[in-house]
Structure 1
Amino acid sequence: MAKSKSVEREARRPEINLPELRTYEGQGLEPDGDYDGLRFEDLDLGGEDGAGATFLDCGIYRCALGETALGRARMLDSVLEGVSGVGTRMENCELRDVELRDARLGGTQMHGARLNRVLVRGGKIDFLNLRQAKLTDVTFEGCVLVEPDFGGARLERVTFRDCVLRRAELHQAQLKDVDLRGVTELDIATGLDRLAGAVISPDQLMELAPAFAAQIGVRVEG
């Protein structure tokens, strides 16, 4: 009888074809605003209130987003490149067909967010809060994630390539078709038992072996 083989389903990448963008000439952001086909470039949007806004076919380049309120915002078929800031509030937002490139963010609040066909490429994100979020077809590529919190989140078809994943929180997370083999530094702070549904490399297994042993109460002595 032939042995059954597990099949990892790869994350689908976003397909974005931005139209010719018009330069945004407004003043800041507006709650529940409607932004379509616009280029936001080299703007300081820190502290602005764009809660509930919709960004469709937009390019956001090198903008400051420190403490910007984007809760419940919808970003669709859009690119964010070189954005930076601490304390960006994106709770319960929706990102669909989005690329986030070379971001420098800290303490971004995305609990309850919905990410579908999202590519996070390059950059560094510290203390990313994705508690209770839903990630489907998400790729992290060439980026550094420091203490990301996936507590209670659902990850399906999520791929990590050439990434650093440092002190990740997986408490009560649900993983399905999650590929961690491309993580160059894999450090799980909590939730080792939630790795069911993920695939790791043999080398990663050896690195995690002491933590797995401690998880089940096994003492390893020479």
Structure 2
Amino acid sequence: MPTDRLQAPTEPRVALPPLDDAAPSAVHDAAVLDRAHLVDVDSTGADLAEIALSECHVERWQATGAVLRHAHLVESRVERLDAAELDASRSVWRDVEVVASRIGSIDLSDASIRSVAFVGCKLGHVNLRAARARDLTFRDCTIDTLDVGDAELERAAFPGSSVHTLELPRATLRHVDLRGLEPRVVTPVESLAGAVIDDVQLSLLAPAFAAHLGIRVV
């Protein structure tokens, strides 16, 4: 029996209990939010470092310039998050869904990510440098640049998604399913070790593989 069969990412477990309706300002007033439902939250430029959200549902969240460093998001769903830039470096995400959101730039460097799904999102620059991500799914998303340099990425998939530029310097990949993604730029190609690609991607990447190996094609 083969031992290297591709393993799909585990989907987040977000089975929300009955929630208490909370004022939109609650996300700014409390360091910990538990089992809360918030709608039309405006966190533009807010410092939310180290905030903890557990079993929460946030709908329509304006968060351009918000700081979520060291934040903890656990067993929660975020819908229609809108941010030109968002700093969530060194944050912790476990069993989280981010749905129908638009984020120009999200900094998830040094983050700890487990069972997280982005669904139907438009993402500009996704910075996962030095992150530790396990069970990560981008479903039906468009991504301009995905940077996983120095990151550990295990069990990841991109069904129905597109990525223009994939940056992989010194990344460690295990069970990463890139099939159908067709990025236009992949750098460096040697860091694709541990990923799964399809025949079409192989043909598109052939010139880059040849250049890396010093092969002349005439």
Deviation at 1:134, TM superposition (A): 0.9
- Following the alignment from structure 1 to structure 2, what is the Cα–Cα distance between the partners of residues 38 and 186? 38
**Which residue in the other structure is 2:213 paired with?**
216
Letter in structure 2 aligned against 1:191: P
Q: In the alignment, does 2:182 pair up with 1:155? A: no
Q: Specify the code of the residue in structure 2 equivalent to 1:41.
A: V
Q: Is the 8 A contact 2:24 2:38 kept in 1?
A: no
* TM-score normalised by the chain length of structure 2: 0.94
**Structure 1 segments of 4 or more deviating over 3 A?**
3-6, 28-32
Do structure 1's residue 139 and structure 2's residue 137 form an aligned pair?
Answer: yes
Q: Which residue of 1 aligns with 2:179?
A: 181
Question: Could you say which residue in structure 1 is the equivalent of 2:80?
Answer: 82
1:170–1:188 CA contact under 8 A, matched in 2: no
1:10-89 equivalences under 5 Å are: 10-25=8-23, 27=25, 29-30=27-28, 33-89=31-87
Q: 1:69 to 1:5 in 2, by over 3 A?
A: closer
Residue 32 of structure 1 and its aligned partner are, at CA, apart by 7.4
Which of 202, 206, 213 is the aligned partner of 1:205? 202
* Contact residue 28 and residue 48 of structure 1 kept, 8 A: no
In structure 2, runs of 5+ residues without a counterpart are none
Determine the C-alpha separation between the residues in 2 that align with 1:5 and 1:30.
48
SS in 1 for 2:46: coil
Shift of 1:188: 3.5
> Structure 1-normalised TM-score?
0.93
SS at match of 2:107: coil
| Superposition deviation, residue 187 in structure 1 | 2.9
Q: Would you say the 8 A contact 1:16–1:78 is kept in 2?
A: yes
User: Per-residue CA shift, 1:173-210, capped at 9, x if unaligned?
Assistant: 10001111142x32333121011111111111011111
Contact 1:166–1:186 (8 Å) recurs in 2: yes
Name structure 1 gaps, 5 residues minimum.
none
Q: How large is the Cα RMSD of the aligned pairs?
A: 1.7
Aligned to 2:119: 121
SS in 1 for 2:146: coil
Contact 1:32 1:51 survives alignment (8 Å): no
Report if aligned partners of 1:99, 1:119 keep a CA contact under 8 Å in 2.
Answer: yes
Structure 2 distance, partners of 1:36, 1:5, is: 41
